[in-house]
Homo-oligomer: A and B are copies of this chain.
Amino acid sequence: MQAKSTGRTVTETARRAQIIDAAIRVIADVGLARATFTRIARSAGLSSTGLISYHFADRAELLDATVERVLADFSAFVLARPDDGSARGALIAFCESNVDFMGAHPDHMSVLMQVRADLAGDADLRRRDTRELAELLRRGRSEGVFGEIDPMLTAGFILSMRDGLIRDIGQSADVPACRRAYVAATLSIVEGK
């Protein structure tokens, strides 16, 4: 495995990671609107907010990088899950890994929700996710295991239910119960009544 060539030194990469970690903590903790450079710098143990500006062009770039980081962590988590190759199995794996990730990294999901609601490029990102999931649903339909559903709309539902769970799980709800219910609801939808 090889690092992407970003033209960054090791030190620079480490500092960015340190700042992004702090940003995640702070955003999850006090909310995006109150996640100022001052608070992030303090949480990261930096001596000046100037250092953040030094490593990121502006606030938008920091938030972009933060979201990128969260998504990367999320992808790594999901990809680690075994998948039996069927559309139904993949869908269940998707649901379960999502819930498990939330349970393991509540801050990440909190950040994702908050930054997305404030980001310009959000719609694109969301649409890409939806399209990917819709593709899976189409496969399921062609395999004959799913009912006559609208792939895009249904994918949206599945993602929305997941987003809603973030709140509940953030309040330390019963994770296994959430996972079971989420999988059951998803299967009910895709298989039709």
* A positions within 8 Å CB-CB of B: 31-33, 113-114, 117-118, 123, 126, 149-150, 153-154, 156-157, 159-161, 163-165, 167-168, 171, 177-178, 181-182, 184-185, 187-189, 191-193
Contacts and interface: CB of A to CB of B under 8 A. Distances in A.
Contacts of A150: 177, 181
Contacts of A160: 160-161, 163-165
B181 A192 contact: no
B153 A177 contact: yes
Copies of this chain? 4
B153 A159 contact: no
A153 B149 CA distance: 23
Given A31-B117, A123-B171, A184-B192, 7 more contacts: A123-B167, A149-B181, A156-B161, A156-B168, A160-B161, A160-B165, A188-B188
Nearest to A192: B188
